[in-house]
Structure 1
Amino acid sequence: MRAVILRACHACPPQDLGAVKLNKVLFYLDMLSYAYDRKPVTGATYRKRPNGPTSDQLLFALRDMARAGDIEIKEVDFHGYIKKEYAPLVEEPKGVLNEEELSLLNDVIDFVCHQNTARSISEYSHSLPWEMAEMGGEIPYRSAMLLFPMEPTPEAFEISEQGLAEVASSRSSTSPVALPLLRDFRSRILREAGQA
């Protein structure tokens, strides 16, 4: 978790990474990793909260990292609300995360921190895994597959219609394959058995 937090802090300016976004980085990293490889990166426990999934372990990890001098945590005014900002004070550890984990983490950071606001990512995170849990209840890793769309998109229908058209045109341009009738097959078997 320390390596993930430091990577997120190095990848985002402090004003772009508050508690809401940091929780979503952890959540999506672990859930997507579980969906792809059946194992989360951090193994944190996630709970349903009003602003989306949160990690049980994040506050403890941040406290320990601040005490160790790894990060600086500031409380700033953000439109009348108190927002926490995180600034890294040490380099990212090398070799803790493998290449696949780093690649996924970079994609998650880009999506959560650079393509969304805290409000939009909070609303986005109210997906099926979040909806299925009781408020304050654990969001199980086995629900990770529910993050992916369940309904076919219009593009999927277009592609399937194109495929059907290709199959239909190839059928009309070739002669049908002759298949023997079952009774003919049985008759042949009986004839050959009588000759033996």
Structure 2
Amino acid sequence: MGELHLVTIIIIGINILISFKGFKDDSFFQKYKFNIGDLKRGAKYQVFTSGFLHVDTTHLFVNMLTLYFFANVVIFGIGSTGFILVYLVSLILGNLLSWFFHKEELHYSAVGASGAVMGVLYSAILLRPDMMLGLFFIIPIPAYVFGIGYLLYTIYGMKRRLGNIGHDAHFGGAVGGYILTLILAPWVFENHLLMVILLAVPIIILFVLQKMGKL
């Protein structure tokens, strides 16, 4: 945690500015949110822009608070450029996975930095699997246990379509953070090989379930 890095402050600031613009201007919100129908009509920019919009201040606060907690771990591990890459690639991959699972649902819409933030979180878990996280901010739990458990819950959420939550974007973002961190910090294979394997298990499960037509 500690003192915020400049790049984190910039990303949080951009999210706040764009989100508040969307809160006040519905036409702006509608134009830049992720919507399958709009994407099919050519609004491909929504895959990127929707990641900086939020439904309300609570949605924005939770995402930015999570980013605040884990950004420094990633910046320290792979540098500020690597952090930006993880953030943006995870954002885009999360929305691309949403497209894959909802491409026939013309009215499907989504907003939020959750995919990008999940990418940062999973990057941090790979870099520091020994971290302890607070489940519900109270119960201490090892980072890797949380990571595996949350991805398995996300698969369940995708299958059952639980709540008004973009589970697929969360999963896609986490996968983005996982893959990019392994590329940018190959030393993780040597130092945390067991964690690399364990965190890959839910990804393999998702792939198998999709191939079997279970999602």
TM-score, structure 1 normalization: 0.29
More helix per residue: 1 or 2?
Answer: 2
TM-score, structure 2 normalization: 0.27
If asked which structure has higher relative contact order (CA below 8 Å, sep 6+), I would say 1
For the pair shown, which has the larger CA radius of gyration, 1 or 2? 1
More strand per residue: 1 or 2?
Answer: 1
